[in-house]
Amino acid sequence: MQIPQGVTAVIGLGVSGRAICRHLARRGVPFALLDTRPAPPGLEAFKALYPTAPIHCGPLDEVDFSRAFEVVISPGVDPFTRGLEGLLDEINDATGEPRLVGEIALFKRAVTAPIAAITGANAKSTVTTLLGEMARAAGVDAAVGGNLGTAALELLDTRPDAELYILELSSFQLETTPHLGAAAAAFLNLSEDHLDRHGTLTGYRQAKARIFNGAEHIVVNADDPLTAPPTATRAQVAYFGRRAHETGQWGVERADGRQWLAHGSERLVAVDCLNLTGQHNYLNALAALALGEALGFAREAMVRALVAFRGLPHRSETIDTLGGVRFVNDSKGTNVGATLAAIEGIGPTLEGQLVLLAGGVGKGADFTALAAPLARYAREVLVFGKDAPRLKAALEGFVSVREVDTLEQALETAQTLARPGDCVLLSPACASLDQFANYEARGEAFRAWVQRKRSEGEA
């Protein structure tokens, strides 16, 4: 197939691909749809909506892109897929950008209001949502979306008059965004994830760091040097971390027998006033505060929103306490970095120990980083799913590990092991797709089991 002269080629018929097509159609831009799958879901509905759009389903090396105006790729499609060779290096004379871009590049061209952008291996959704709540408390009409909730291009249709766009952005979205120009951009943390796409941790970091391109204000993690801009920048840089310094860093300070979120020497709120628990969530709160400050939000309003914020489902979410044992659902912990954050965030706060439930599809990750903190905080680790043997091999010798078949078996065993003051923590360090439709389904299975046990105990 040859893309007709001047037509935009859209690759991928998923949620983002459909949003791209709707965006182009609203602007009268002719486009063709391509998908590597022979019969992608939703194809017939697409044909009904856009009967004149050229369509190609199959390998991309069967397509001639030479006459296309540009190629817009969905985040789920690797820009180095065979057939797309060199397109990231070719400059489009009309836009000054690569001929291959993603949805966020289209969003940037169309938007007039400022953008706040958040990326990181973990905690993106929590910080994005919390920043949105802070904006609302500060009287700013902000639209929240991107990799979280509503696609960025859909926000242009549903919230065209927003004063601010707050976007969670993944590495897949950023690697095809040449110049974001955010009013404020945060890189929260970095750990191994999506190496099947980016190849190395360096490649993953390079994709994430594109969030800094053209940013006015930058927020980075003082405890994670890999989040710093890789090159010199004229942007104002703010740091958040475990300690607050006189230099104005956002951090945690201990005073008067309490822990406080602080900006330099200024204490803002005691952590025991928050609904969020764990050191990792205190860092998330600090990142949101730093972003809000860069955007001009009133501190009083930000603290008010922070105190009211209860967190997101499946992210270090306390479900219940049964027999003195707390059950925490962190099913969103789909990589080693997220699980490390949960262990190191919750472990030091317990009177007892952790019973960790982990396992699923490991995506090639190295689990050995979990061994040392589990040796400090865990009573036992129960592993299940496809990569349970790899997890067990990485942790044996540091902590007691037991392999079971399913999450339900892990929960039943955990209930017999845990003692009052302990925490049964589901933070799998793995994707869920071997046994569940997604991490939400895994978390809901955890919640349902705990609620059933509560009902049985009250019967």
| Domain residue extents for the chain | 8-100, 111-308, 317-458
Judge whether 194 counts as a catalytic residue. yes
Q: CA torsion sign, 63 to 67 to 68 to 71?
A: positive
**Assigned token pair, 104:** 């966020």
Beta bridge partners of 425: 328, 356
Give the pLDDT score at 459.
44
Candidate list 23, 56, 108, 124, residue with the active-site label = 124
Ramachandran assignment for 25, one of left (phi > 0), alpha (psi -120 to 50 degrees), beta (any other): alpha
17 neighbors 75 (Cβ within 8 angstroms)? no
Beta bridge partners of 259: 254
Q: Catalytic residue, from 23, 108, 147, 263: name it.
A: 147
First to last CA, the chain: 66
Compute the distance between CA of residue 344 and CA of residue 362 in angstroms, rounded to an integer: 20
- pLDDT score at 166: 98
- At 125 the three-state DSSP class reads helix
Beginning with the edge strand found earlier in the chain, give each strand of the sheet holding 217-221 in spatial order.
142-146, 164-168, 115-119, 184-187, 217-221, 236-240, 250-255, 258-263, 266-270
Q: How many CB atoms lie within 10 A of CB 304?
A: 16
Residue 300, judged by CB atoms within 10 A of its CB (0-12, 13-18, 19+), counts as exposed
Shortest CA distance to 201 belongs to which of 189, 211, 191?
191
> Whole-angstrom Cα distance, residue 126 to residue 132?
10
pLDDT at site 215: 97
Overall fold of domain 317-458: Protein-Tyrosine Phosphatase; Chain A (3.90.190)
d(CA 287, CA 123): 10
Question: How far is the C-alpha of 403 from the C-alpha of 352, rounded, in Å?
Answer: 22
Cβ-based neighbours of 312, under 8 Å, separated by 6 or more: 125, 126, 129, 332
Q: State the chain's maximal CA–CA distance in angstroms.
A: 71
Give Cβ neighbours of residue 16 (< 8 Å, ≥ 6 apart). 74, 75, 76, 103, 151
Q: Which residues pair with 412 in a beta bridge?
A: none
pLDDT confidence of residue 106:
97
Q: How many CB atoms lie within 10 A of CB 129?
A: 22
Is 124 known to be catalytic? yes
Q: Are 184 and 131 in contact (CB under 8 A)?
A: no
Residues 371 and 352 sit within 8 Å (Cβ to Cβ): no
Element (H, E) at 458: helix 439-458
pLDDT score, position 192: 64
Residue-level pLDDT at 239: 96
Answer whether 341's CB lies under 8 Å from 122's CB: yes
122 part of the active site: no
Distances (CA, A) of 157 to 11, 119, 258: 21, 23, 46
The one-letter amino acid at 290? A
Tokens in use for 51? 């009967």
Instruction: Encode the chain (459 residues) as per-residue pLDDT tens digits.
Output: 999 999 999 999 988 899 999 999 999 999 999 999 999 999 999 999 999 999 999 999 999 999 999 999 999 899 989 999 889 889 998 899 999 999 999 999 999 999 999 999 889 999 999 999 999 999 999 999 999 889 999 999 999 999 999 999 999 999 999 999 999 999 999 986 666 666 688 888 999 999 999 999 999 999 999 999 988 888 999 999 988 766 789 999 988 899 999 999 899 999 999 988 888 899 999 999 999 999 999 999 999 999 999 888 999 998 999 999 999 999 999 999 899 989 998 999 899 999 999 999 998 889 999 999 999 999 999 999 999 999 999 999 999 999 999 999 999 999 999 999 999 999 999 999 999 999 999 999 999 999 999 999 864
Whole-structure pTM value: 0.86
Give every CB contact of residue 301 below 8 A, 6+ residues apart in sequence.
134, 137, 138, 139
Residues composing the chain: 459
Q: In CATH, what number does 111-308 get? A: 3.40.1190.10
- CATH entry, 8-100, from 3.20.20.100, 3.40.50.720, 3.40.50.300, 3.30.1360.70: 3.40.50.720
What is the Cα–Cα distance from 53 to 30, expressed in whole angstroms? Answer: 8
Catalytically annotated residue among 194, 245, 392, 453: 194
Torsion 18-66-88-83 (CA) sign: positive
Fold agreement (111-308, 317-458): no
CB 319 within 8 A of CB 334: no
